[in-house]
Structure 1
Amino acid sequence: MGAVKNKPGLQAPNQLFVRYSGVPVVYVESEEDYYIFGEWFKDQLSRLEFLAVNNRLGSSASGCGAVIEAVRTEVASGNPAWGIVDRDAVMSADRWDLVHEIDDSCFDSSLPFGQRVKVLRRWEMESYLVDGDLLEQHRSELLMQAPRSSAEVWGELLADCQALIPHAALNATHHDYKKSGLGDGCTDRFQDREEVESSFVENILISLEKHHLDCRDLYAQHLNQVAAFDTTEAPLEPRVQSLLRRVHGKAVLSRFKSRHRIRDDFRGLLAARIKTAGRVPEELSDFVQMAMNS
């Protein structure tokens, strides 16, 4: 993640002072999240601190559960603490009502882990890096090619999200059976949803069926629930953004990189481009402002 780490917002010289000066601490799931938030909110780093939860004193645990526990124990000790977790945290907690919730206002107001823990509307942090215009800017500059039209790029991303509907449904099925999830790059070689279903899904279901006779019915239920996030009446960009609430953002980026033969880890560059373009998600800016005012 070298491309992510070397960002000016993360080099504030007064961070040691800030950590112990009573400003709110916002725990995040990983080092990668820390670097992205540090880039997006570098102008606020004198008023709050982001901290990857595995760097918390006395703990090396990471992930959504560790963030929730860190906030709980810090607040109980009288320290100003907040947390941000991926939307997949509600699946980890078996809150299927929220996994399938399409309405943002209902999702936000549910507060499954309390008011101090922000649950992202999109599936994971990387889902916010799926910006068609900025991805295309990076691709065209890297490959020294003329940029494609916005409609072409967003159409390509929509096809990727649709191809990943079965991937998300299979991962939910695996979660139900307490099995490890499928990798983010496992659909890269398949062109579209039809090919994913015919050349990939069937093999997974055959394997699952050896021990779980109901797997096809369960998969079909999850498939319909994931597909419900495709707002077919909307323009391309809102359709992609809606599906990113449920399909895996890392897998979308993996498909884009594989198709265009991009080998660099461009997450840090995308985060910087989003900051420069003024496209930091409002839901995150609002949460950070609330934390600073606590």
Structure 2
Amino acid sequence: MGAIKNKKSGLKSPERLYNRYSGVPVVYVESDEDQYVFGECWFKEQSSRLEFNPVAARQGNAGEATSGCNAVIDAVRAERIAGNPAWGIVDRDAVFSHRRWDLVHETDDRTFDEAKPFGRHVKVLRRWEMESYLIDVPCVEKCRAEYKMGGMRPEREVWAELLTDCQALVPHAALNAVHHEFCEEGVGDGRTNRMVNRSDVENRLIQPALTALAARHATCSERYVQYLSGAEAFDEPGQEDPVRVVSLLRRVHGKAVLSRFESRHGLQSLKGPLAARIKEAGRVPDELKEFVSHAVTEN
């Protein structure tokens, strides 16, 4: 089959010819990190039946996007038209990029899943981004303890810590929505790392940012309140901390949650180790396992 991959053809990429004859479905993902987590860690055992490819590695047609969620959507559409079994995974923030505010603020998983805004072959993650699935308390705490060469803390303590992080990032998410609406550069995921809690974020980040924005956009404070309400709806105050954290991870930025945790504990990037730990512990989310199973069985 390697000879087929190396042959020239009328197709834009040899991989497209290979996939057509091999019959192995390809799942396009947004980044190399996504490919590593999904393809090399969590679903490595499916490599003979399903191939995860970062979309940037694909040679597309003129006019197609070359990176991010739009590139995944373009790639799946083009491959399907060419007769190749292709799928895609995009972060939930893709509906944010496309200004689908109804889905950005949809708290019901079934309603969100059934919407399929980019077609039935593109899976939109329920959580904000791939990193949001790495926030798994037993694995996060194990990685922290190993890095620090110390003991494991009680899970309830770690859940409480992460809930504080998620709540602190609710206004961060709302502020980024305001920036996006007005076509302004967003606030980075590490901006709240030195801010203790939500009140600290509101005083040190939100108020100065809205004051600056008001000079250019008179309605920014009003829009912020609306986006804040939409983000707050993902919290479930009557539930236990684990339920609240997982629910909030649908709207707050997963990269920002990890960044706060790493900064607070003096850690380097946990993404790779966390992905491996989650796989070893058998804690890959059912949502993703169900999608992969569906992609394998329905070409």
AA aligned opposite 1:255: R
SS of residue matched to 2:83: coil
AA aligned opposite 2:277: R
Change over 3 Å in CA distance of 1:124–1:169 after alignment to 2: same
Deviation per residue, 1:44-73 (Å, 9 max, x gap):
000010000000124681100000010001
1:3 match: none
AA aligned opposite 1:31: D
2:70 match: 65
Whether the 8 Å contact between 1:168 and 1:247 is mirrored in structure 2 is yes
In 2, Cα distance between the equivalents of 1:279 and 1:62? 29
Runs of 4+ in 1 over 6 A off after TM superposition: 15-18
AA aligned opposite 2:273: L
In 2, Cα distance between the equivalents of 1:144 and 1:265? 16
Is 2:58 the partner of 1:56? yes
Structure 2: where are the runs of 5+ without partners? 1-14
Which structure carries more relative contact order (alpha carbon 8 Å, separation 6+)? 1
Question: CA offset at residue 138 of structure 1?
Answer: 0.8
SS of residue matched to 2:27: strand
Change over 3 Å in CA distance of 1:240–1:260 after alignment to 2: same
In 2, Cα distance between the equivalents of 1:58 and 1:212? 38
1:161 maps to which of 162, 166, 169: 166
Question: CA offset at residue 135 of structure 1?
Answer: 0.8
In 2, Cα distance between the equivalents of 1:260 and 1:53? 33
2:87 maps to which of 50, 64, 82: 82
AA aligned opposite 1:265: S
Whether the 8 Å contact between 2:262 and 2:270 is mirrored in structure 1 is no
AA aligned opposite 2:106: E
2:5 match: none
Is 2:34 the partner of 1:33? yes
Deviation per residue, 1:228-263 (Å, 9 max, x gap):
10011110101000000000000000000010011x
In 2, Cα distance between the equivalents of 1:155 and 1:265? 22
1:11 match: none
In 2, Cα distance between the equivalents of 1:131 and 1:37? 16
2:220 maps to which of 195, 215, 220: 215
In 2, Cα distance between the equivalents of 1:148 and 1:182? 32
SS of residue matched to 1:164: helix
Instruction: Give the TM-score normalised by the residue count of structure 2.
Output: 0.91
Is 2:46 the partner of 1:44? yes
Instruction: Give the TM-score normalised by the residue count of structure 1.
Output: 0.92
2:24 match: 23
AA aligned opposite 1:46: S
Whether the 8 Å contact between 1:30 and 1:52 is mirrored in structure 2 is yes
Is 2:224 the partner of 1:224? no
In 1, Cα distance between the equivalents of 2:212 and 2:34? 34
AA aligned opposite 1:286: E
Question: CA offset at residue 17 of structure 1?
Answer: 11
AA aligned opposite 2:34: D
In 1, Cα distance between the equivalents of 2:186 and 2:130? 17
Alignment of 1:126-137 (within 5 A): 126-137=131-142
AA aligned opposite 2:177: A
Matched residue count: 279
Is 2:111 the partner of 1:106? yes
1:290 match: 294
2:248 match: 243
Alignment of 1:247-262 (within 5 A): 247-262=252-267
Question: CA offset at residue 161 of structure 1?
Answer: 0.1
Whether the 8 Å contact between 1:87 and 1:120 is mirrored in structure 2 is yes
In 2, Cα distance between the equivalents of 1:48 and 1:198? 48
Question: CA offset at residue 159 of structure 1?
Answer: 0.1
Whether the 8 Å contact between 1:18 and 1:48 is mirrored in structure 2 is no
Whether the 8 Å contact between 1:86 and 1:125 is mirrored in structure 2 is yes
